[in-house]
């Protein structure tokens, strides 16, 4: 994975520098302490007993057998679970998901916790959970998205419109010179972070200490405090390191709360860690989709109409509808455009946000359909995309705050070597006789921002501590945020300490929506700016300062000192020393600029190019090269940004070729609930992945000009890989992930390809 070529000019001493992650050494040496590493004195171990059926009731437990197992301390069931202050099925906030906390004997999905066994050892608890042997009254379960009756939900995603329209799509389709209609299927997926959900809960009277991984400690604090009837500040959540979340840790999951309740029940500290198999159960997943794209095309190659309709699945008892079609309102220019959704309810756990929720699956279908439209017209797929570049956001007509997509096409195509690609599929092969194909996809991800607060403390020695409840979930946030803090305070990086990952710190918003650097970074920037202003006020009012009398406006902070711009300077430490202050503190807050966001569309863009080689006998697909070029506003740390983009691209490859949670129609359970059969790409699947950074300046998106890089890599990539497979073989597979048997068995009979 080589370094990119596009230069990003450093702005400030720290921002823009490709420094290694601050937590790298701690992680590779094992010193980083994750939740499951915590071992308070007197610790007991709790194990969840998951439901083996997907719908019905628990009729009995063999409590005697479980309690007879040596080392078992208690069994928590609906009969003895400590009381809650809130019904876990109550919607107590605008965005809150129903939890299964042993409120009754009802089973709503396979893997739902039906009891918790607490033991002196993990082994005792596991054996007890097995001996508990729940008996069930099973009812027929439905887990097939195609077999359920659809309805139109009120909203999709987290409150987004279910339908959006601009122009008359049906009329434009009716009069279009060419029409392309295609249906695509994507599979259910499971987040599977390396670190499973874990909780270590310690009660001290009515105060609760919780070590647990979280992408949003403030939200987790509110939810847990609400359920337990505690003042929020009595719930102390610590989450210094998170071993990946991808959305599964954006909301507190039922098992985490059950660990806390188990500790309450037994009056001792309790640790509860999910097994890998249990990660395929009660902690969320990405719902499957069925998507239909309809395009009307003019003879000149422009898109007259674009309609994207998605069917998605949620659980029977709660609402999360993957907004799979929504992205298509913002990617390609079209005379008329509409995005619509329908949903079904299944006997599954409630899906939840998963890296690129909606954007990932929607981009895959859109980019395939765009490719199929280009083929219909006999156009080069990149030329077709350039021709239909959206100068304004198609669904709203708003201008973009910035958009360097054309530069991404240029940089990516040049690096990848797109020029000279033969138009016809099945034109290329390699020396091993494999069929070679080249594909492209456009990447796009909205630039979100939320509210956050931060505080900065400057000490007499000139060093600073910046505190906020931000989240280092492996993405490098702690490093990038410290870089922002250093520049905001005008200090060298070595003088800045960042404290994050605890609910006792100011609310920094969640690590979600690719927004964390923008959101938390803007709060840090505000806190740093406020602190420098206080410092400047002290200096300019101090007759002993070289800056005495200088106007605040001309001062700036850098290298640990205030500067007047004319050579006069006054070190931070000197200002404090003369003022007789041990430290000064400032707070800052950040929030999205509502006016700018109403008048402008804001998104990061990119272009992803894929090369694949397909074994013509086996249908086996190897991605041999992936090159992405991305423009995402200001890049705080190019090294970590590339790592994020490459990681996203690998997710995109996986969406196209690997990951599928396979529900057993007989039991409703996930049949491949392990990392042997649920295929996540390994290094051998990824020969060469490269992310280029394309320079882009954005003065509207937020004070830092940061757009976010966490999820955009998935978009574009999945479609590029699928399009490359078509280009290699001439076979268009529309069920994802592409199964090699579908490809192999279709290859001899290409003429039978179903264009429905």
Judged by the rule CB under 8 A, the positions of this chain that interact with other proteins are: 127, 130, 617-618, 662, 671-672, 675-677, 679, 682, 740-741, 744-745
CB of 281 to other proteins, least distance (A): 17
CB of 55 to other proteins, least distance (A): 21
CB of 617 to other proteins, least distance (A): 5
Please give the Cα distance from 182 to 565 (Å, whole number): 62
Please give the Cα distance from 495 to 560 (Å, whole number): 8
Closest CB to other proteins among residues 478, 673: 673
- For 648-690, what is the HEC assignment? HHHHHHHHHHCCCCCECCCCCCECCCCCCCCCCCCHHHCCCEE
Closest CB to other proteins among residues 168, 741: 741
Closest CB to other proteins among residues 275, 302: 275
Please state the separation of Cα 297 from the chain's center in Å: 34
For residues 166 and 307, the answer to whether their CB atoms sit within 8 Å is: no
For residues 626 and 610, the answer to whether their CB atoms sit within 8 Å is: yes
- Tokens read off for 587: 């707070």
Closest CB to other proteins among residues 131, 268: 131
Composition of the chain by helix, strand, coil, percent to 5? 30, 25, 45
Q: What are phi and psi of 647, to 5 degrees?
A: -60, -40
Closest CB to other proteins among residues 461, 617: 617
- Tokens read off for 258: 């059950």
Residue of 188, 573, 571 lying closest to 351 (CA atoms): 188
CB of 615 to other proteins, least distance (A): 9
Helix (H) or strand (E) holding 181: strand 178-186
Angle in degrees, CA 92, 453, 483, rounded to 5: 135
Q: What's the burial of 125, exposed, middle or buried (CB within 10 Å: 0-12/13-18/19+)? A: buried
For residues 285 and 661, the answer to whether their CB atoms sit within 8 Å is: yes
Please give the Cα distance from 229 to 216 (Å, whole number): 20
CB of 285 to other proteins, least distance (A): 17
- Give the count of beta carbons closer than 10 Å to the beta carbon of residue 1: 12
Please give the Cα distance from 239 to 252 (Å, whole number): 12
CB of 666 to other proteins, least distance (A): 13
Closest CB to other proteins among residues 419, 682: 682
CB of 45 to other proteins, least distance (A): 16
Closest CB to other proteins among residues 485, 621: 621
Closest CB to other proteins among residues 130, 136: 130
For residues 318 and 254, the answer to whether their CB atoms sit within 8 Å is: no
Q: Which of 393, 690, 696, 711 is catalytic?
A: 711
Closest CB to other proteins among residues 319, 685: 685
- 466 sits in the region (left: phi over 0; alpha: psi -120 to 50; else beta) called beta
Closest CB to other proteins among residues 700, 746: 746
Helix axes 717-729, 359-377, angle to 10 degrees: 40
Closest CB to other proteins among residues 275, 396: 275
Catalytic, 690? Answer no
Edge-to-edge strand list for the sheet holding 569-571 = 556-558, 561-563, 569-571
- Tokens read off for 696: 């882009």
CB of 30 to other proteins, least distance (A): 22
Q: For 341-495, where are the alpha helices, taking DSSP H only?
A: 359-377, 381-387, 405-416, 477-489
Angle in degrees, CA 140, 142, 145, rounded to 5: 170
Three-class secondary structure of residue 615 per DSSP: coil
Pairing of strands 56-60, 135-138: antiparallel
Longest CA–CA separation in the chain, Å: 88
CB of 741 to other proteins, least distance (A): 3
Please give the Cα distance from 714 to 644 (Å, whole number): 10
Please state the separation of Cα 217 from the chain's center in Å: 16
What residues contact 263, with CB distance under 8 A and at least 6 apart?
Answer: 44, 201, 202, 203, 269, 270
CB of 454 to other proteins, least distance (A): 44
Closest CB to other proteins among residues 598, 684: 684
CB of 267 to other proteins, least distance (A): 29
DSSP single-letter state for residue 297: E
For residues 421 and 438, the answer to whether their CB atoms sit within 8 Å is: yes
- 417 sits in the region (left: phi over 0; alpha: psi -120 to 50; else beta) called left
Please state the separation of Cα 497 from the chain's center in Å: 26
CB of 611 to other proteins, least distance (A): 20
Closest CB to other proteins among residues 585, 615: 615
CB of 246 to other proteins, least distance (A): 21
- 645 sits in the region (left: phi over 0; alpha: psi -120 to 50; else beta) called alpha
Please give the Cα distance from 689 to 152 (Å, whole number): 39
Residue with tokens 């909606």: 358
For residues 731 and 745, the answer to whether their CB atoms sit within 8 Å is: no
What residues contact 639, with CB distance under 8 A and at least 6 apart?
Answer: 18, 19, 20
Catalytically active residues are 711
């Amino acid at each position: 994975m080589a370094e990119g070529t596009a230069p990003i000019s450093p702005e400030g001493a720290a921002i823009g520098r490709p420094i290694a992650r601050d937590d790298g050494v701690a992680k590779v040496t094992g010193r980083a302490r994750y939740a499951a590493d915590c071992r308070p004195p007197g610790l007991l171990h709790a194990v969840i007993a998951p439901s083996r059926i997907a719908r019905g009731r628990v009729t009995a437990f063999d409590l005697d057998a479980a309690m007879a197992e040596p080392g078992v301390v208690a069994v928590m069931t609906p009969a003895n679970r400590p009381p809650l202050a809130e019904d876990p099925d109550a919607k107590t906030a605008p965005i809150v998901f129903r939890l299964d906390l042993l409120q009754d004997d009802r089973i709503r999905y396979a893997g739902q916790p039906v009891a918790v066994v607490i033991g002196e050892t993990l082994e005792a608890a596991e054996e007890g959970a097995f001996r508990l042997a729940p008996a069930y009254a099973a009812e027929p379960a439905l887990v097939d998205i195609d077999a359920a009756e659809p309805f139109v939900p009120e909203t999709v995603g987290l409150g987004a419109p279910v339908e959006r329209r601009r122009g008359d799509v049906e009329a434009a389709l009716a009069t279009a010179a060419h029409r392309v209609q295609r249906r695509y299927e994507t599979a259910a997926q499971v987040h599977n972070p390396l670190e499973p959900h874990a909780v270590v809960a310690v009660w001290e009277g009515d105060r609760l200490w919780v070590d647990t991984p979280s992408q949003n400690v403030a939200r987790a604090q509110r939810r847990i405090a609400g359920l337990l009837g505690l003042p929020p500040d009595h719930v102390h959540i610590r989450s210094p390191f998170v071993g990946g979340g991808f959305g599964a840790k954006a909301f507190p999951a039922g098992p985490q709360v059950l660990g806390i309740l188990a500790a309450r029940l037994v009056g001792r500290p309790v640790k509860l860690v999910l097994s890998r198999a249990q990660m395929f159960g009660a902690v969320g997943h990405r719902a499957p989709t069925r998507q239909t794209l309809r395009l009307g095309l003019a003879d000149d190659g422009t898109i007259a109409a674009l309609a994207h309709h998605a069917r998605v699945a949620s659980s029977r008892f709660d609402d999360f509808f993957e907004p799979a079609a929504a992205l298509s309102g913002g990617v390609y220019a079209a005379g008329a455009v509409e995005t619509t959704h329908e949903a079904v309810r299944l006997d599954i756990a409630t899906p939840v946000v998963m890296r690129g929720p909606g954007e990932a699956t929607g981009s895959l279908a859109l980019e395939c359909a765009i490719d199929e439209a280009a083929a219909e017209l006999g156009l080069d797929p990149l030329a077709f995309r350039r021709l239909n570049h959206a100068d304004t956001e198609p669904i709203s007509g708003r201008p973009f705050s910035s958009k360097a997509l054309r530069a991404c096409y240029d940089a990516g195509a040049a690096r990848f070597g797109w020029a000279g690609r033969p138009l016809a599929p099945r034109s290329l092969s390699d020396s091993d006789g494999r069929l070679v194909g080249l594909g492209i996809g456009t990447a796009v991800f909205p630039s979100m921002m939320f509210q956050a607060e931060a505080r900065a403390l400057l000490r007499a020695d000139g060093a600073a501590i910046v505190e906020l409840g931000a989240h280092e979930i492996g993405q490098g946030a702690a490093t990038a945020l410290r870089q922002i803090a250093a520049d905001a305070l005008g200090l060298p990086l070595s003088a800045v300490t960042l404290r994050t990952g605890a609910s006792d710190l100011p609310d920094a918003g969640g690590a979600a929506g690719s927004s964390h650097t923008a959101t938390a970074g803007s709060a840090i920037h505000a806190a740093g700016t406020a602190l420098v202003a206080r410092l400047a006020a002290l200096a300019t009012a101090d007759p002993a300062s070289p800056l005495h009398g200088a106007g605040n406006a001309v001062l700036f902070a850098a290298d640990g000192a205030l500067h007047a711009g004319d050579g006069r300077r006054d070190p931070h430490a000197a200002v404090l020393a003369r003022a007789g202050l041990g430290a000064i503190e400032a707070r800052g807050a950040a929030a999205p600029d509502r006016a700018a966001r109403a008048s402008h569309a804001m998104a990061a863009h990119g272009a992803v190019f894929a090369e694949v080689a397909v074994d013509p006998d086996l249908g086996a697909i190897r991605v041999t090269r992936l090159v992405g070029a991305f423009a995402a506003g200001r890049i705080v740390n190019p090294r970590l940004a590339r790592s994020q983009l490459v990681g996203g691209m690998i997710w995109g490859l996986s969406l196209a070729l690997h990951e599928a949670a396979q529900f057993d129609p007989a039991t409703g359970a996930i049949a491949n609930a392990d990392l042997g059969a649920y295929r996540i790409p390994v290094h051998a699947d990824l020969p060469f992945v490269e992310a280029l950074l394309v320079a882009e300046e954005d003065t509207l998106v937020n004070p830092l000009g940061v757009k976010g890089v966490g999820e955009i890599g998935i978009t574009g990539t999945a479609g590029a890989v699928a399009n490359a497979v078509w280009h290699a073989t001439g076979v268009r597979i529309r069920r994802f992930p592409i199964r090699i048997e579908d490809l192999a068995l279709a290859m001899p009979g290409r003429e039978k390809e179903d264009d429905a």
